[in-house]
């Protein structure tokens, strides 16, 4: 058995809102809103900028993080049903 050096915990790469936005195919402001709403975890740099742990972002992309939910993008059929729902609520008043 060879002596193994204890491994230091590997640091998670931190992503900018722009990098996260590219992965999710949304605007960087959307990522910032998700973070403000608590839908995705973020870290603040000493300068006040947001950064996101790559492992958490990748887990969200794979659908593995059940505790953090990122809203699905609206598709045209989704948008139509939402419009119909809104109109139905207005008429029900």
3-state secondary structure of 42: coil
Split at pLDDT 50, 70, 90, the class of 93 is: very low
Percentage of residues in the chain having pLDDT higher than 70: 58
How many Å apart are CA 31 and CA 53, to the nearest integer?
13
Is 14-92 in CATH node 1.10.1660? yes
Q: How confident is the model at residue 12 (pLDDT cuts 50, 70, 90)?
A: confident
Name the residue ranges covered by the structural domains of the chain: 14-92
Give ∠ CA 33-36-39 in degrees, rounded to 5: 85
State the pTM of this model: 0.60
Which residue has tokens 């640091």?
A: 11
């Amino acid at each position: 058995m060879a002596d193994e050096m204890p491994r230091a915990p590997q640091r998670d790469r931190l992503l900018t809102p722009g990098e996260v936005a590219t992965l999710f195919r949304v605007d960087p402001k959307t990522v910032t809103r998700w973070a403000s709403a608590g839908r995705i975890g973020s870290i603040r740099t000493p300068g006040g900028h947001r950064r996101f742990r790559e492992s958490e972002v990748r887990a969200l992309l794979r659908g593995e993080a059940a505790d953090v939910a990122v809203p699905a993008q609206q598709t045209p059929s989704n948008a139509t049903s939402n419009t119909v729902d809104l109109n139905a609520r207005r008429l029900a008043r």
